[in-house]
Chains A and B, each alone.
Chain A
């Protein structure tokens, strides 16, 4: 158990819909990272938050947004969903800002299926 909690574990929805994925980092960790894993694209970095502020951005679509709340949990919002958004979405956390030599602790992921 990594200590990172993601909910829900599975999500099935339809094209055009909007969903919210939730992540609770390990106790004491200030950074939260979101990754998308699909067969064709591999593991893609989406975005990082540190202590409530956006710190790094990757290949995140404009239809996607995220935030980190004062209690450090994070939410990833996916809107106007398309079939291609079907993927496994991971949240990870680390203790610092991510600029030093830190390892990430991953949650078990949310499997999103867009039908």
Chain B
């Protein structure tokens, strides 16, 4: 069953604001990935994290692999209209042969 708790479920923000979302679990993960899904499309990888404590940026996006290996967050700075979409966290459990467990997603709406 679902092992990742992603929050918030949805967000409505003004253009230019910063955004933060996170995933938590009672299980330890080896890898954390963050994906974005546009309407009618498949998820697209944004950031991959491989070590506890790792902080990685990709343009206006920053993500961190929690030190306990049980959580991760994604920040988006200075949001723009094209940031609209669903953001998913995904983690790989130890011994899971590269299978991913997905969070339920955060629906982001950016208001002009």
- Chain B binds chain A: no
A residues at B contact (CB < 8 Å): none
B residues at A contact (CB < 8 Å): none
